[in-house]
Structure 1
Amino acid sequence: MALSDACSDFVAEMRGADSDGGRQKAVASLLVEVAHYACPPFRYGDELLLLAAGCREYLDPLLSKADRVQRIVFVADAVREMLDRPPGMAKPAS
């Protein structure tokens, strides 16, 4: 499994969660995945920092005024999309 798969699974879990407890469990699990992918032989960079910051922000809502669910789902989905793009492929037009 790759970090993009972990992000995809996380987004699906967040969308399927029926309670705040379920969402907190999903975020805590993503934080564990981030720690896993921060160790060799993996070579991820800023995307791990972004995911970790998003998880901490979700778990401690005093860190931000943003909607916690929307923000962490957006961050995870953006990282997944970035990692799933073949090397050298330009960003899609918006």
Structure 2
Amino acid sequence: MPDVELLDDVNRMHEENPMLGLSGVRLGLVVPGLVTIQVRAIARAVVERTRAGGSPRAEIMVPLVGAVEELQLTREDVTRVLAEVTEEIGTSVHCPIAR
């Protein structure tokens, strides 16, 4: 039941003013699997829509980055998940990432 555990973790981190604490990129770094779940859902939706004849253009943005290390860690996770999804479905999904 990893989804139930993840929801319990999120509920424990409730803050009155999240802008002062755990938000944006930091939330994804503190909650293991959160970025993975989100990126995998986006990638699979793009593939599904493409197969249905659409031409979606998804953009994955990393919010509230305060340190280069936060962006590096998140980018590694995003890149890994996109590679996994393309292997799972046997197609190519091109996602340019700013350098």
The bucket for the TM-score relative to the shorter chain is: 0.3 to 0.5
Please identify which structure carries the higher helix content.
1
TM-score for both structures, normalised by structure 2: 0.36
Higher RCO, Cα 8 Å, sep 6+? 1
TM-score for both structures, normalised by structure 1: 0.37
